[in-house]
Amino acid sequence: MTVTLRALETAVPATILIQHQARDVFAAQPGLTRLGQRLVRTCFDSAAIDTRHTAVAEMSLDFHSPDPMFYDGATGLLLNPTTKQRNDLFAAEATALFIEAAAKALAACRELGAADITHVVTVSCTGFFNPGPDYKIVRALGLNPSVQRYHLGFMGCYAAFPALRAAKAFCEADPNAVVLVVSVELCSLHVRTSNDPDTIMGSSLFADGAGAAIVSARELPYSGPVLELDHFETVLTPVGEDSMAWNIGDHGFEMVLDTYVPRIIDDHIVGALEPLLARAPALAGIPYGDIAHWAIHPGGRSILDKVQAKLELSDEQLVPARETLRNFGNMSSATVLFVLKHILDQPSMEERESICGMAFGPGLTVETSLFTKVSELPSLDGQGAGNQFDHVVRV
């Protein structure tokens, strides 16, 4: 049985943050020490980010609110709303983004419709409300009220892969299943001014975005390139529990992102890949650079640099991750879905190409995955060649 990701779409809030403008705002805040000011400029300038999106409209320099909560454009001051105020905005803005991304994925999947959805899996670590986003999607899109609903909450940047793994398991258990997976993260709700290096790092990296996928094992024609979901693995590194964390404070969620994290990834990435690649005999023993595509979660520029150097990957293989980081920042769990979409949208050299995915999160957790991008597709009238190919496959 082949389980296939048949549509993948993304969505972002309308408000755009220009990195150098955001840097200047954060660097100008009262209470920053000289060291804090230097850290702000260093972190923002070295992040390899040009633009990010935020659900906080008042963070735009062109927006002036008479009753600001996060940023007072008249004074240039970053404000410090409570966790409840931040979460209330999450409930409003995340709901709209969950529905938008889900609707886009359904519209892109011409061979399936809302009535076909049997399972909904939602993902977020940046807010909570109940009835949750799974419920909101069912109501807004007119899905069957008996749809099975699951929410993966507070896992962190790697959570899209467990969500896709769950979707694969549902489809293997029921070949008629059609699973809608939606990830929405509003990380910018939790940024704040501080002299703390972790907080400054988060302010320079994190952003808001959404990704949605339709997954099924039904034997149907395709309306575009698809991903076969091959294998997923989870590895916990022996160190790093205190180096990456996500905690709830009185004034938002608090990130711990130690500068030691890239070193941990450098030391343990090869071992983390071993159980995944052992599941794919065709990839056993070949150089990492011979795998066609790499969908790496861009947790930050230094993490991508470490992965590229350790695995000896080409600049071209890092383009999807680096371009996602440059244009959207780190959107936590949604980010790797942007990277996968970048790969899906690229012209293919072969009919079938392997993709190795990696994402990192608290623990330190390393989630890995193998996909096959299928680009030579059967026609919608069902008369095409199907998914069987008789030539050598480029991995």
Strands 71-72 and 77-78, bridge-based pairing:
antiparallel
Mind listing the pLDDT tens digit for each residue in 120-162?
A: 999 999 999 999 999 999 999 999 999 999 999 999 999 999 9
Query: Given 43, 109, 125, 157, which residue is catalytic?
Result: 157
Helix (H) or strand (E) holding 208: strand 208-216
Query: For residues 169 and 385, what is the distance between their CA atoms, to the nearest angstrom?
Result: 27
- Residue 382 clears pLDDT 90, i.e. is over it: no
Burial category of 315 from C-beta neighbours within 10 Å (exposed 0-12, middle 13-18, buried 19 and up): exposed
- C-beta atoms surrounding 42 within 10 Å: 15
pTM: 0.94
DSSP symbol at 376: S
- The one-letter amino acid at 290: D
Q: Is 187 a catalytic residue?
A: no
CA 31 to chain centre: 33
66: CB partners within 8 A, 6+ apart: none
Kindly state the tokens that stand for 169.
């398991």
Which residue is it, tokens 């996602």? 324
List, for residues 239-257, the tens digit of each pLDDT value. 988 888 889 999 999 988 7
pLDDT in tens, 69-109: 999 999 999 999 999 999 999 999 999 999 999 999 999 99
What is the amino acid identity at position 197?
P
Q: How far apart are CA 218 and CA 171, in angstroms?
A: 9
Q: For residue 164, what are its two tokens?
A: 């896709």
- What percent of the chain is predicted at pLDDT more than 90? 84
Residue 77 burial (CB < 10 Å; 0-12/13-18/19+)?
A: middle
Per-residue burial over 282-310, b if 16 or more Cβ lie within 10 Å, else e, is ebeeeebeebbbbbbbbbbbbbbebbbee
Measure Cα distances from 303 to 154, 313, 340 in Å: 22, 13, 18
Q: Distance between CA atoms of 5 and 341, rounded to whole angstroms? A: 11
Report, as an integer, the average pLDDT of 296-310: 96
Which tens digit of pLDDT belongs to each residue from 9-67? 999 999 999 999 999 999 999 999 999 999 999 999 999 999 999 999 999 988 888 89
| Domains, the chain | 4-216 (3.40.47.10), 226-374 (3.40.47.10)
In 79-142, which residue ranges form alpha helices assigned H by DSSP? 83-108, 133-141
* Separation in Å, CA 193 to CA 45, 189, 249: 17, 12, 14
Q: Evaluate whether 156 touches 217 at the Cβ level (below 8 Å).
A: no
